[in-house]
A and B are shown apart, each in its own frame.
Chain A
Amino acid sequence: MKKIQTILVVMAAMMALTACEKVSPIGVLVSGTGVEDRVKMSHLYFQQHKGEGHFFDISGKDEYSFIIGADSHMTTDGGRMREMLQNGLDHDDLLYAHLGDMADTKPEYYINLENVISEYKWKFARKYFEELFLGNDESVEERENPDFYMYKDSLTGMVYSVDDVPMPFFPVVGNHDITHNGWAQWSNIFHSSFYEVLVQIKSEPLTLDRFIFLDTANGTLGEEQVNLIEEDGYALREYLETNIRNTFVFSHTNIFRPSSLQFASTFAREETFFLLNQFHKWDATIVFCGHVHKWDEQVVDNVHYITLDSMSERNSPNPGDYLLRVHVKANGELTWERVRMNYTKK
């Protein structure tokens, strides 16, 4: 009994001693970069790259659409991720959003993910941009190598290498993306975990649809992000004086649990109510969530909350309606449809 008492006292002392700002007492349950650091890095990056690939002008078009997937948990098999991107490409979606847990943290899985993203950047560039071949026409090897191509966006006049092509793929970060210090890998590919995308519907008067991507991987926004949200201190703040028509919010962590058997962490009480209140203030149209691998749909305070199933071939091995496509008409009317995925592991 003495031994148990000694162990308990030592454990208690260790926890008390680690209760300082630099070494958080919750460190016994934490690994990797915290949300505060991620948000600071993301916000700084986004400020410095303001508007790069985050602004779309669809003035004069009758409709646009965007596709959403969640929890791909990619490992060695990129089949489902390819299927999502191909679906978006085939359907001419304006943007592709991903609700986090893209890969399962190991470096080799992120290399696979980056390869798939690069593959589709090339496909995207070939479909939408003017191609400039810089190699030897007679070399088959060079013709099949993306490094020998440049792509010109005829709308902006910008010229890109394949690596720099602004494919409109917008992910949020999930808890599996950053455990075991995965943020270093995630940020190397996607740079920012907290950002905003704007779609111009018409210029007179300036009317925008707003897409807000939140960093909720830790199950909390963190103090920095709460402050930025309360100040509405996003990177594209100058546009907020304009008419915002629809606001779409993307969060990895879900707000509502689909059933009592969903045991993944959701937001703590105060933060749940803070978010519900904030979504109301933003007049959010739809809040998209992932994390629990279970479809759920709620309407609370005139805001739609849609939680998507996992698109991972491991979690959802059979074909199913794992993706979601939202259609937005010029008059602001919205419809959405669930999109089937057919890929199964070979």
Chain B
Amino acid sequence: MKPSLVRTGIAAGLVVLAGVPWIASPSIVQFGINMLLLAALAQGWNIIGGYTGYASFGNSVFYGLGSYGTAIAMLRWHLPFGIGLVLGTVIAVVFAALFGRAILRLRGHYFAICTLGLAEVMTAIVSNLEITGRNTGLVLPLLRGDVLFYELSLSLVVVATLIVAWIAHSRFGYGLIAIRENEEAAAAMGVDTTRYKVLAFSLSAAISALAGGIHAYWITFIDPVSAFDIGLNVKMIIVTVFGGPGSILGPVLGSFVLSGISEILSTNVSTVAGLFFGAVIVVAVVFMPRGVADLIRRFDKYRWRYFAENVRANRL
């Protein structure tokens, strides 16, 4: 597809998306908020996982820190939501920068396992602190305004996607991709690998924390188990990989398509929805391992052969 056509399509899509909550039913708006927040989270994961090649399970920690930071600021210190959101984000970024310096020395599975541990540790810590309400959690003031939360979530997706678009065409992004493709060669060519990785991790953390803060105020209730849920991190990864890791629009498309499929399945075949959902993922990984973004990019040229080529290339 032509770039100008893509741009027009995206702009039109954005207008439609922004208009949805003004006409759609409340349940659709709620579905939309969840879908958009997942898209933003996936886009955040895309920076560290997709571009830098570090499979992080720590993004749910940043999400949780964003939730708690926002909630604590609003409840304990009676600060407005906006300031709470900034505070939660700052906490998550500081956390990512400090821990990133240490754990980004690990590669591959070791990094993944270490970040997995972080989430467990955070759940335990937050469950035992007075300020976080221990394991009963916190209840935030109620604000009836799904439209506002929807538009806020949409803005976050747009900002996150713009950041990723900048990364994809910048010196910084090339440094990250070089790290993903071969870290030793990247360093030998002059990429300050430690600094770049920590920056990517922190940027990823900021987006996750913002999503966490918005979600906390929308849902009005957080507790340690749901705020630091590893399952959410797994969702970010599935959505990103389905959409196309290391691409600009892949994570957003992935979130839209998978959220849609998941919603349709759970309303129609509620009891076995999980099974069908799993099947969709498996089929996707086999036939389009580079994700939706790659499929769209190359379907024009290859047509239906695209799927056969993928199966052959992966020797399945």
Whether A and B are associated in the same complex: the answer reads no
Q: Chain A interface (Cβ within 8 Å of chain B)?
A: none
